[in-house]
């Protein structure tokens, strides 16, 4: 059952509350998505001003996190949601937490960008950053999409992607460490790249988490902490 | 007469109920029912086994082919919108529907090995094994003692006063009422508060040591504190008795039952473990009802 | 909002005035009823109160053995049939020796009631030592004397008494030897031709036995019929037919039941006329529909929740009815029964038909002795010519009314008491 129909509650106030939560979540998702994109750009272009903007958005994101959490708490207290509504609230609270962490990671990447602007370009790693960055960016976009459309299939695809991202990250790390051993003068600048890559890998993990929440929301199955194959098997049951 | 006004009953008037059923069945056509009940309606070694139960009020059919089991010492909740037949179904289990002339029951209903509608079965004996607590507390206009003692007396369960006293005390204790009334056992039962009266009715029902206790919306006339006390009681009682409870409060069903059965317009749509029903119901109709999307 | 308030305010005056008018109608209706009641009671009490007192005359009486003609004290028969009247006449002649000639003597003797002799007999039987003694007694006066003494000066001119009699009485009055005393005989004697001796006790006993028979027959039958019809009878055309007939019977004129009693019970079954048993049977037929209808209503009023609770515990149909329905319906049933009895107590027509209109002197000893009932007694007395009977009739009406009031009060009291407990 990949479908989720959300017909009207008999209580219009309940409907409005849920609508508000979803809208705020989408807004937060949009902000965070932009943060990731901008952070990557700031890093790749060594753009300090853009980096600054990314870090300012942090504030808005944090406020949205608190707002959505509060709205969810209210719904739990006042509406005693059950079944799909209950799972929605739980999924949203968890996803919001992941989004906020993604925001934090983006800010880290932006700060690395500022560092590089001061210290000068890194001789190596921009290709890897671009590649993994795009991958992760797409993952985030897809997972938010899946959440908006309650598309468990797409969420599963995002989860599968994360494995690839991990592999790419490890191979990038190996190559950059090798480079640092060969050219010790570049260590401090390459390190910035390495931290950024690590942040990107983290963002991928969080995107996967959000996907797992979408699966929970749609299928009612808790698929955290298991491999993608195991997830697929569980969903087929 | 004044007494008639005091008791406001919802005993189904034959004609009214038939009309109500007809009105609701007009909505029938647009709904997709499952061919078979979704979930886990059957258990091993059930206490009560019901297969293909159909109930008719004259020409109108109120229950369509319901099959389910009630396990030993289980608490089963029957939920569903008004007029969906859950009370009608419950009343089949102790043949209270016999009192309504135009009501006809078909199907296979068993209490362990005993066929409930076996012509050789004495209904009086059945009702000593399957007791019932009603929606509006209805203690007899007698003393508290006589209320509880009535069942044992008529069934000859206690001949000596000492035995009767013991049964009364045990029942009142099991119903959580003993401490509140032990000093006034001979005051009228109708002088208690609503919640106490309902607990008195429960004590009265268990005084005959039934195997199954049926409860038809037992808390709907009570305030939250009295309701909480009775829900607590149900949990304790389930250790000794099998319980089937009809409730229109989903939260109550969620709190007290092991399995929940969702009825919709006389059909059993889904029956599952309660936590499954309330976190991940299997059928659309159940989901719609539980989340409050009544359309 | 305020526009509505304004409109409401404007109509308020009209509403209150209408309410006041309605109240006034109600109060005046009650007032009219009360007025009628007051007039009725005033009339009855006014006419009847004098019957509770009778005129007695103080005379000196000698229990002269020769006059009495008693040889042996212990002989019952002699004591019973001795010539007590003779003793009284002696005393009268002593008092007014001037009376001479048969006419005057007759007038003299008729001053004292014919029943006074019985009092002397009772006294002598109780205390035989009075024989030969001279005793000062109060003797019961004749009803004409009674009327004369009780009437005002102007009315005395119209009395039936002769001038002699009037002067004798007045001389006795002057000596304070004429007194009004409590009329015991009204409550202890049966009917009599002589007003001063007439009493309602015979009728009261007759009414009592009749009511007893009616109650013993109609209550069990009525209650059982009501229970059967409400609880056990199948709902089909036949039972509907029965119900219609019962309701119709309640409206049948009571005299029809009297005819039935005459034709069937007396004619066919050959029971004696004018006995409480027959009267009771006739009245049973009359009150049965009332009791059945009110009992059914009482049973219908028992809430179904009690029945369901009892059935849910495994009580059989009979147990539900006996243990739960009947006790709860009993107040209503009793009320219906008492009101039915009160109605029956006041019934005259059907009892006339079965012959309870005969003149019966003896107080009935049992339900199979011929008797009359209070309402019939009243009817008979209302028919009699003597003036004293007017007062007696009203007095009997007062007694009957007080019984009815007592019974209805009992009905209300019982209903309140039995209902309040639960």
* B283/chain C closest Cα distance in angstroms: 35
B132 touches chain C (CB under 8 A): yes
B201 touches chain C (CB under 8 A): yes
Name, of A80-84, B181-185, C73-77, C192-196, the range with top average pLDDT.
Answer: B181-185
B31 touches chain A (CB under 8 A): no
pLDDT at C125: 82
Separation of alpha carbons B287 and B281, rounded Å: 6
pLDDT at C134: 87
Residues of C in contact with B143 (CB under 8 A): none
B89-108: pLDDT as tens digits: 999 999 999 888 889 999 99
Mean pLDDT for the stretch of residues B283-291? 90
* C320/chain B closest Cα distance in angstroms: 11
Q: Which residues of chain C have pLDDT under 70?
A: 1, 73, 420-422
- pLDDT level of residue B22 (50, 70, 90 thresholds): low
Separation of alpha carbons C334 and A61, rounded Å: 82
A116-168: pLDDT as tens digits: 888 888 888 889 999 999 999 999 999 999 999 999 999 999 989 999 999 99
Residues of B in contact with C308 (CB under 8 A): 11, 96, 99, 134, 138
Residues of B in contact with C301 (CB under 8 A): 1, 3-4
B208 touches chain C (CB under 8 A): yes
Chains C and B touch (3+ CB pairs under 8 A): yes
Chains with at least 3 CB pairs less than 8 angstroms from chain A:
B
* A5/chain B closest Cα distance in angstroms: 9
Q: Are C141 and C196 within 8 A, CB to CB?
A: yes
What percent helix, strand, coil does chain B show, rounded to 5?
40, 25, 35
A7-57: pLDDT as tens digits: 677 788 888 999 999 999 999 999 999 999 999 999 998 889 999 999 999
Separation of alpha carbons C415 and C335, rounded Å: 6
Q: Where are the domains of chain C?
A: 52-182, 201-418
Cβ–Cβ below 8 Å for A8 and B279: no
Given a cut of 70, whether residue B131 has pLDDT beyond it is: yes
Separation of alpha carbons C105 and C111, rounded Å: 10
CA distances from C28 to B271, C22, C25 (A): 69, 10, 5
Separation of alpha carbons A221 and B58, rounded Å: 46
Cβ–Cβ below 8 Å for B291 and A220: no
C-alpha Rg value of chain A to the nearest Å: 19
B60 touches chain C (CB under 8 A): no
Instruction: Please report the ipTM that was assigned to this predicted complex.
Output: 0.84
Q: Are C110 and C141 within 8 A, CB to CB?
A: no
Residue to test with chain B: of C295, C313, C318, most B Cβ within 10 A: C313
B216-272: pLDDT as tens digits: 999 998 999 999 999 999 999 999 999 999 999 999 999 999 999 999 999 999 999
pLDDT at A102: 96
B224 touches chain A (CB under 8 A): no
Option in B99, B124, B134 nearest C314 (CB): B124
Residues in Cβ contact with C318 at an 8 Å cutoff, skipping those fewer than 6 apart = none
C422 touches chain B (CB under 8 A): yes
pLDDT at C421: 53
Mean pLDDT for the stretch of residues A214-219? 92
Q: Does domain C201-418 have CATH number 1.10.3720.10?
A: yes
pLDDT at B78: 96
Measuring CA to CA, which residue among C305, C306, C311, C308 is closest to residue B127?
C311
Q: Are B167 and B158 within 8 A, CB to CB?
A: yes
* C242/chain B closest Cα distance in angstroms: 21
Q: What is the DSSP letter of B30?
A: G
Given a cut of 90, whether residue A189 has pLDDT beyond it is: no
Phi (first) and psi of residue B186, to 5 degrees:
-105, 10
pTM value is 0.78
Given a cut of 50, whether residue B119 has pLDDT beyond it is: yes
Query: In the A/B pair of chains, how many CB contacts fall below 8 A?
Result: 39
| Summary mean pLDDT of chain B | 87
* B38/chain A closest Cα distance in angstroms: 15
Separation of alpha carbons A221 and B203, rounded Å: 43
Query: In the B/C pair of chains, how many CB contacts fall below 8 A?
Result: 85
pLDDT at C147: 87
C324 touches chain B (CB under 8 A): yes
> What percent of chain B shows pLDDT beyond 90?
73
Chains A and C touch (3+ CB pairs under 8 A): no
Q: What is the DSSP letter of A58?
A: H
Option in B251, B281, B294 nearest A83 (CB): B281
pLDDT at A234: 84
Residues of B in contact with C421 (CB under 8 A): 188
**Least confident residue range of A133-137, B8-12, B148-152, C160-164:** B8-12
pLDDT at A122: 83
**Least confident residue range of A96-105, A210-219, B72-81, C50-59:** C50-59
């Amino acid at each position: 059952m990949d479908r989720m129909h959300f017909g009207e509650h008999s209580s219009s106030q309940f409907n409005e509350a849920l609508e508000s939560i979803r809208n705020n979540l989408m807004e937060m998702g949009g902000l965070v998505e932009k943060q990731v994109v901008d952070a990557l750009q700031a890093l790749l272009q060594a753009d300090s001003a853009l980096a600054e903007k990314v870090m300012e958005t942090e504030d808005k994101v944090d406020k949205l996190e608190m707002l959505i959490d509060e709205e969810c708490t209210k719904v739990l207290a006042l509406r005693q949601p059950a079944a799909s509504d209950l799972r929605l609230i739980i999924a949203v609270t968890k996803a919001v937490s992941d989004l906020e962490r993604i925001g934090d990671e983006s800010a880290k990447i932006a700060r690395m960008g500022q560092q590089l602007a001061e210290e000068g370009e890194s001789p190596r790693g921009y290709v890897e950053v671009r590649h993994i960055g795009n991958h992760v960016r797409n993952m985030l976009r897809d997972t938010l999409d899946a959440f908006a459309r309650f598309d468990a299939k797409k969420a599963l695809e995002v989860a599968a992607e994360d494995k690839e991202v991990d592999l790419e990250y490890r191979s990038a790390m190996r190559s950059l460490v090798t480079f640092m051993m060969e050219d010790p003068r570049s260590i401090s600048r390459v390190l910035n790249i390495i931290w950024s890559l690590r942040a990107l890998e983290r963002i991928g993990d969080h995107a996967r988490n959000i996907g797992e929440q979408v699966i929970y929301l749609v299928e009612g199955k808790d698929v955290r902490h298991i491999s993608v194959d195991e997830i697929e098997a569980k969903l087929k049951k | 007469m004044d007494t008639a006004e005091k008791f406001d009953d919802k005993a189904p008037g034959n004609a009214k109920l038939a009309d109500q059923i007809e009105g609701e069945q007009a909505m029938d056509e647009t709904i997709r029912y499952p061919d078979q009940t979704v979930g886990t309606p059957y258990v091993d070694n059930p206490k009560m086994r019901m297969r293909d139960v159909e109930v008719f009020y004259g020409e109108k059919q109120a229950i369509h082919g319901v099959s389910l089991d009630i396990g030993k010492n289980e608490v089963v909740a029957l939920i569903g919108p008004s007029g969906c037949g859950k009370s009608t179904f419950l009343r089949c289990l102790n043949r209270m529907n016999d009192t309504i002339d135009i009501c006809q029951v078909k199907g296979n209903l068993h209490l362990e090995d005993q066929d409930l509608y076996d012509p050789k079965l004495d209904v009086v004996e059945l009702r000593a094994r399957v007791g019932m607590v009603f929606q509006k507390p209805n203690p007899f206009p007698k003393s508290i003692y006589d209320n509880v003692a009535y069942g044992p007396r008529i069934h000859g369960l206690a001949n000596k006063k000492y035995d009767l006293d013991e049964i009364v005390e045990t029942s009142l204790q099991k119903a959580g009422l003993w401490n509140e009334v032990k000093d006034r056992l001979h005051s009228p039962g109708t002088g208690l508060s609503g919640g106490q009266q309902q607990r008195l009715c429960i004590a009265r029902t268990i005084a005959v040591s039934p195997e199954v206790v049926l409860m038809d919306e037992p808390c709907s006339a009570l305030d939250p504190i009295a309701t909480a006390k009775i829900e607590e009681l149900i949990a304790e009682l389930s250790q000794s008795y099998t319980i089937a409870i009809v409730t229109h409060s989903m939260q109550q069903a969620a709190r007290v039952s092991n399995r929940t059965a969702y009825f919709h317009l006389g059909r059993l749509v889904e029956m599952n473990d309660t936590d499954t029903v309330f976190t991940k119901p299997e059928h659309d109709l159940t989901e719609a009802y539980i989340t409050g999307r009544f359309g | 909002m305020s526009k509505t308030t304004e409109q409401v305010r404007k109509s308020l005056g009209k509403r209150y005035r209408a309410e006041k008018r309605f109240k006034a109608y109600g109060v005046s209706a009650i007032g009219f009823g009360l007025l009628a009641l007051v007039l009725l009671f005033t009339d009855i009490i006014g006419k009847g109160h004098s019957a509770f007192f009778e005129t007695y005359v103080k005379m000196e009486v000698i229990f002269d053995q020769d006059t009495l003609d008693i040889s042996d004290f212990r002989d019952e028969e002699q004591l019973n049939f001795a010539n007590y009247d003779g003793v009284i006449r002696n005393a009268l002649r002593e008092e007014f020796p001037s009376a001479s000639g048969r006419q005057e003597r007759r007038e003299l003797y008729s001053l004292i009631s014919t029943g006074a002799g019985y009092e002397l007999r009772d006294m002598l039987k109780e205390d035989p030592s009075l024989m030969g003694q001279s005793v000062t007694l109060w003797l019961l006066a004749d009803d004409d004397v009674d009327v004369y003494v009780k009437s005002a000066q102007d009315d005395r001119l119209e009395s039936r008494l002769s001038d002699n009699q009037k002067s004798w009485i007045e001389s006795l009055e002057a000596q304070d030897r004429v007194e009004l005393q409590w009329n015991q005989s009204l409550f202890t004697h049966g009917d009599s031709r002589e007003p001063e001796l007439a009493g309602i006790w015979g009728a009261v006993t007759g009414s009592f036995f009749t009511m007893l028979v009616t109650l013993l027959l109609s209550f069990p039958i009525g209650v059982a019929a009501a229970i059967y019809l409400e609880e056990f009878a199948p709902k089909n055309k036949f039972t509907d037919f029965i119900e219609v007939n019962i309701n119709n019977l309640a409206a049948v004129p009571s005299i029809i039941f009297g005819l039935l009693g005459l034709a069937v019970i007396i004619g066919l079954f050959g029971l004696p006329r004018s006995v409480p048993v027959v009267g009771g049977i006739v009245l049973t037929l009359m009150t049965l529909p009332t009791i059945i209808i009110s009992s059914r209503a009482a049973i219908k009023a028992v809430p179904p929740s009690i029945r369901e609770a009892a059935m849910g515990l495994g009580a059989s149909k009979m147990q539900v009815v006996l243990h739960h329905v009947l006790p709860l319906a009993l107040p209503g049933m009793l009320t219906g029964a008492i009101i039915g009895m009160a109605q029956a107590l006041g019934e005259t027509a059907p009892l006339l038909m079965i012959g309870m209109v005969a003149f019966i002197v003896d107080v009935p000893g049992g339900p199979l002795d011929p008797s009359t009932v209070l309402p019939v007694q009243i009817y008979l007395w209302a028919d009699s010519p003597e003036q004293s009977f007017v007062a007696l009739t009203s007095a009997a009406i007062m007694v009957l009314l007080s019984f009815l009031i007592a019974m209805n009060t009992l009905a209300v009291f019982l209903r309140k008491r039995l209902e309040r407990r639960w």
